[in-house]
């Protein structure tokens, strides 16, 4: 059976699929030509990341398709329930990229509290002529240890973020609609570990008490953070959105940065991907990455192998 990895797959994932006896096709097919390609090549499995959209047109017109796989967590680019109603299996890899996303959260967070996102823009332009001015401008950083990190959405990624926060001495609180308590085990390189038991805060208390807020929830058709929610936060709060675009109102975020309510934001996902707002891109108080939360070699290896194992379990 042929598996089309339209958005790519790691070498380890490809090798694993071939070990299981599948024919792996790495052709990158445009969205407009995808139906014809799947039908002409009798594709049984379609693997995507976030680029390829798997909507009703593909599901209805590709009779050979037996499985759709998403390399990652969110499946908002797939009509999941409709595919299932047509007896097509839909799988994803919710655990494989959790550590990678969590580490990127702290890449943004460490960078922002020490102004790295700004100084890395300024130094190439003015470092040779205004070194002392830049040194003064970026000399009022803060430490993360002892600060309160609020995490909204306490699934696999949220819990990995919490572990890093706890490991560097932060006070971690969380809000989750479904998880009210969590037992976290921090594993260290030498085999030692330590456990923490955390209980859910209310949404309002988290907004009020957090020095930094990191969001890890699925895609939503309405804002989680709008003008009301920003007004409830601490003055000078830092915001991190590495979940999905549309979670926060970017216009209100800009306003909150301009008033000083929000001191900085770290953003990996945007309202209008792949064409983010120029106001967001040009704001010097926002640390920016182009939706790369899961884009580490280790995560892609885990994603590929996990997809291969699940496909073999279903189709093998």
Residues forming the active site? 244, 273, 291
- Sign (positive or negative) of CA dihedral 56, 61, 66, 67: negative
Tokens of 167: 């490991």
Residue environment code for 254-281, b if the CB has 16+ CB neighbours within 10 A, otherwise e: bebbeeebbbbbbbbbbbeeeebeeebe
Select from 172, 168, 103 the least CA-distant residue to 142. Answer: 168
Do you find a cis peptide bond into 95, omega within 30 degrees of 0?
Answer: no
The number of helices, as runs of H, and strands, as runs of E, in the chain is: 13, 13
Nearest-10 Cα torsion for 247, 250, 256, 260: 100
DSSP H or E segment with residue 247: none
CB contact at 8 A, 125 and 136 = no
Residue where the block lists tokens 């390609």: 37
Cα–Cα distance, 293 to 289 (Å, whole number): 9
- Write 84-87 long-range contacts (CB < 8 A, 24+): 86/59, 86/60
């Amino acid at each position: 059976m042929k598996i089309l990895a339209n958005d790519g797959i790691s070498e380890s994932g490809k090798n694993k699929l071939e070990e299981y006896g599948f024919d792996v096709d790495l052709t990158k097919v445009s969205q407009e030509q995808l139906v014809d390609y799947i039908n002409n090549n009798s594709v049984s499995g379609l693997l995507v990341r976030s680029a390829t959209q798997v909507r009703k047109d593909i599901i209805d017109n590709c009779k050979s398709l037996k499985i759709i796989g998403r390399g990652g967590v969110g499946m908002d680019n797939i009509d999941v329930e409709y595919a299932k109603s047509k007896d097509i299996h839909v799988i994803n890899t919710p655990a494989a990229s959790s550590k990678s996303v969590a580490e990127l959260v702290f890449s943004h967070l460490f960078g922002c509290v020490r102004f790295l996102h700004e100084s890395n823009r300024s130094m190439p332009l003015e470092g040779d002529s205004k070194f002392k001015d830049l040194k003064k401008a970026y000399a009022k950083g803060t430490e993360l240890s002892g600060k309160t990190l609020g995490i909204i959405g306490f699934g696999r990624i949220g819990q990995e973020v919490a572990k890093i926060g706890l490991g560097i001495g932060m006070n971690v609180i969380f809000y989750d609609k479904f998880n009210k308590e969590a037992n976290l085990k921090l594993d260290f390189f030498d085999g030692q570990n330590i456990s923490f038991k955390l209980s859910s805060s209310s949404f309002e208390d988290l907004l009020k008490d957090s020095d930094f807020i990191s969001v890890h929830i699925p895609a939503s058709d309405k804002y989680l953070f709008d003008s009301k929610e920003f007004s409830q936060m601490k003055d000078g709060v830092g915001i991190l959105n590495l979940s999905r675009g549309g979670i926060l109102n970017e216009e209100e975020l800009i306003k909150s940065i301009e008033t000083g309510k929000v001191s900085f934001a770290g953003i990996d996902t945007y309202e209008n991907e792949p064409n983010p707002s120029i106001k967001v891109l040009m704001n010097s108080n926002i640390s920016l990455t182009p939706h790369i939360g899961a884009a580490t070699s280790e995560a892609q290896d885990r994603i590929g192998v996990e997809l291969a194992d699940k496909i073999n379990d279903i189709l093998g």
